[in-house]
Chains A and B, each alone.
Chain A
């Protein structure tokens, strides 16, 4: 999976509620049918946190199991909405070109 795709899928899953890495990957598996590799998942989490699109849930990082629960930020929601709207436009155009009803 391309790194920007991985980031979009992670954001999509986090838009549904805060999760830690393993739970994010489980939700991705339910959504797409396969889990991300560790390099793709944690690379995407690093990029999204560096860009301020996700953030750790305060106080959770010190938990005994050392799992960081992450949540989407307002900037993350805005970015995800823009990406999904663009994707929807492309999907509609593609379906129209194929003669299918985009509905």
Chain B
């Protein structure tokens, strides 16, 4: 994938649909010196969802709900990597995500169930395999390369599960009803508050990189939630 195409992919879908080709052409024509402005422009638009034009009614809310689940998944992985005490804020973050969860259409419950089975079968198998391995007694005190391999497998499985849950959410959002603006705003503020508290806890624990990543995520969620209020 070329650099202009990568940068265009950073823009919210409504903007990409309208001006993706033109943005890509401008970036290609003006070269690397246009990258900071182009990337900054994409970041500003994500922080201001009320600035997105809509191709279809509810498009902004659908995209935000999917983005919120991506943020929640990333936050959950970061919390897992941080010290255990930080995990106490996960409840608040998950409560926010649940608030933004799309409602599956009642007429398509079978289709939703089928999509859930298709999407979650592989990650469920990966999680189960990991659990069985952990409880088998075969790897009680791994050392050297075996330890590295197991830790890598553990994180790969967690990331895979997170990505598939996110993919399922995106599929249900496309099929069902997007959360209302009010519900979405409350969800963003809850996720933002939970993530900010977790960032503070990480900072106290000395995990600076994780604290910085969580803080960035919190600021983005809180800012987007506040912006929805202003529309």
Contact = CB atoms under 8 A, between A and B. Distances in A.
Indicate, yes or no, whether A interacts with B: yes
Contact of A43 (B22, B34, B51): B51
Interface residues of B, number: 28
Contacts of B45: 43, 46
B34 A38 contact: yes
Interface in B154-193: none
A67 to B, nearest CB: 6
Contact of B41 (A21, A25, A40, A66): A40
Nearest to A1: B37
Contacts of B38: 37-39
Interface in B13-39: 14-15, 18-19, 21-23, 25-27, 30, 34, 36-39
A67 B22 CA distance: 7
B112 interface: no
Nearest to A56: B18
A68 interface: yes
A47 interface: yes
Q: DSSP majority for the A interface?
A: helix
A38 B52 CA distance: 16
Interface in A46-74: 46-47, 49-50, 61, 66-68
A37 B14 CA distance: 19
A42 B52 contact: no
A41 interface: yes
A57 to B, nearest CB: 13
B119 interface: no
A28 interface: no
Contacts of B18: 45-46, 49, 61, 68
A42 B34 contact: no
Contacts of A49: 18, 53
A86 interface: no
Given A38-B38, A42-B15, A43-B41, 8 more contacts: A20-B22, A38-B23, A38-B37, A39-B37, A39-B41, A40-B37, A46-B15, A46-B53
Interface of A: 3, 20-22, 25, 37-43, 45-47, 49-50, 61, 66-68
